[in-house]
Amino acid sequence: MSRKTDPFAVELTPELILRAYQAGIFPMAEDAQSDDLFWVSPQMRGIIPLEAAHISRSLRKTLRTHPYSVRVDTDFDATIEGCATSGTDRDTTWINAAIRRQYGELFRRGYVHTVEVWDGPDLVGGLYGVSIGAVFFGESMFHRKTDCSKIAMAHLIARLRAGNYRLLDTQFVTDHLKTFGGIEIPREDYELRLADALGHKADWRAIER
């Protein structure tokens, strides 16, 4: 499933990360303190089919009544910090210093995007991922208040649909993602969908117009 690399032999750069995603590969670290990276290409890949994505009745009610504001691309550092912090939803993190640094650069270049859920001045949930062509590669999400990662995901799905994205790659499938219609598909099927979606253009900001 994965191949461990010597971080001194293979320098992690924004360009390398973008090429890897387009080949169906993504990097992970052992933990926050580790210098080692894994390049991962799962035999079974997690996706949420955008045409069949599901928003539960209870979440639809939450979306109508929640007191939070949803913003995009306003605070990458706080979002990745939330994703990297151990808490009730995770014991450890795979986000190390190199990943923070390089994805921060990709954010500045416009390839990485965040969806952020704010309660006044407090960031209470969110997610981030990489956008190339008509593919959004979801990386990580977090919540500090109930349902706030679900609110972020629901907004992401609406935004991707509005922008004519063709593929939402979640890498793996969790029980949380299954509630949105997340499924696993074989690597060969994923690679066909990936190649098709990379050949199209999408508009991250379309929902705002």
User: Residues 50-79: pLDDT tens digits?
Assistant: 999 999 999 999 999 999 999 999 999 999
Contact 168, 131 (CB under 8 A): no
What pLDDT shows up at residue 30? 80
Long-range contacts of 71-74 (CB under 8 A, 24+ apart): 71/115, 71/116, 71/118, 72/113, 72/114, 72/115, 72/116, 72/159, 72/204, 73/107, 73/113, 73/114, 74/114, 74/116
First-to-last CA distance in the chain? 41
Domains assigned to the chain: 2-208 (3.40.630.70)
Q: Show the low-confidence residues of the chain (pLDDT under 70).
A: 1-10, 32, 86-92
The torsion of the CA quartet 75, 90, 194, 6, rounded to 10 degrees, works out to 90
Tell which residue, 105, 94, 100, has the closest CA to residue 38: 94
Q: What is the pTM of this model?
A: 0.92
